[in-house]
């Protein structure tokens, strides 16, 4: 009796075919698309702008939601683990709050959003009412575990999960619908597509 063996030929990487680095880009794009699909911030009077680039920078803003409640810079991270905060200083000077998800310090995700909020505020400066528009940062952790914790705020960045975030962009109402569209157009004009 003969042994039945199966020969599987591996395709070679010719010029123009996917290289491992380009596959990573495709995987990242797929993750970004799935993350945006989970963020259902669309609602009545909400304009969502995706993939904006800060001028003269390589930094991209994942999503910006303009709603009657203001402007929300939204970042999504797929960190896994239990969400908690720590202050690492001595008891007489605890220092700033740090965000931990699982056993890893994820405070850099918060700091990254703070810089993006500053860029959006600069984009709104050319108008006389630009300084009056509230700009907030939301960090969404859809895969994290929250236990009995509720959403938290670190360095003026709200950190929570998708369902809570969708409610957060709706209230309190500070702009009418025409102003929402004006603000969204101003952001489109000043922050190009990445």
CA distance 186 to 126: 9
Q: Which pLDDT score, from 0 to 100, does residue 43 have?
A: 60
How many CB atoms within 10 Å of residue 76?
Answer: 23
Cα–Cα distance, 106 to 144 (Å, whole number): 12
Token pair belonging to 116? 């993006």
- What pLDDT is stored for residue 116 in this prediction? 93
The answer to whether residues 68 and 174 touch, using CB atoms and an 8 Å cutoff, is: yes
Question: What does the pLDDT read at residue 20?
Answer: 53
| Cα-Cα end-to-end distance for the chain | 62
Q: How far apart are CA 40 and CA 104, in angstroms?
A: 27
Which residues lie below 8 Å from residue 189, measured CB to CB, with a gap of 6+? Answer: none
- Counting beta carbons within 10 angstroms of the beta carbon of residue 11, is it exposed (0 to 12), middle (13 to 18) or buried (19 or more)? exposed
**pTM for the model:** 0.75
pLDDT in tens, the chain (194 residues): 444 443 434 343 444 444 555 555 555 555 555 444 445 555 667 888 988 988 888 888 999 999 999 999 999 998 999 998 888 777 777 778 889 999 899 999 999 999 999 999 998 988 877 788 999 999 999 888 987 768 889 989 999 988 888 888 887 888 888 888 999 999 999 898 87
């Amino acid at each position: 009796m003969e042994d039945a063996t199966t020969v599987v030929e591996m395709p070679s990487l010719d010029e123009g075919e996917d290289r491992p680095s380009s596959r990573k880009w495709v995987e990242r794009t797929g993750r970004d698309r799935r993350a945006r699909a989970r963020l259902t911030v669309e609602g009545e009077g909400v304009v969502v702008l995706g993939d904006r680039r800060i001028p003269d920078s390589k930094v991209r803003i994942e999503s910006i939601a303009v709603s009657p409640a203001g402007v929300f810079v939204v970042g999504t991270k797929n960190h896994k683990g239990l969400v908690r905060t720590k202050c690492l200083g001595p008891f007489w000077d605890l220092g700033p709050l740090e965000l931990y998800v699982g056993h890893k310090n994820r405070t850099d995700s918060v700091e990254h959003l703070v810089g993006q909020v500053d860029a959006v505020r600069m984009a709104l400066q050319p108008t006389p009412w630009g300084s009056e528009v509230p700009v907030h940062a939301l960090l969404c952790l859809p895969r994290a575990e929250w236990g009995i914790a509720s959403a938290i705020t670190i360095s003026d960045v709200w950190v929570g999960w998708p369902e809570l975030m969708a409610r957060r962009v709706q209230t309190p109402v500070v702009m009418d619908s025409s102003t929402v569209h004006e603000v969204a157009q101003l952001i489109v004009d000043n922050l190009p597509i990445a």
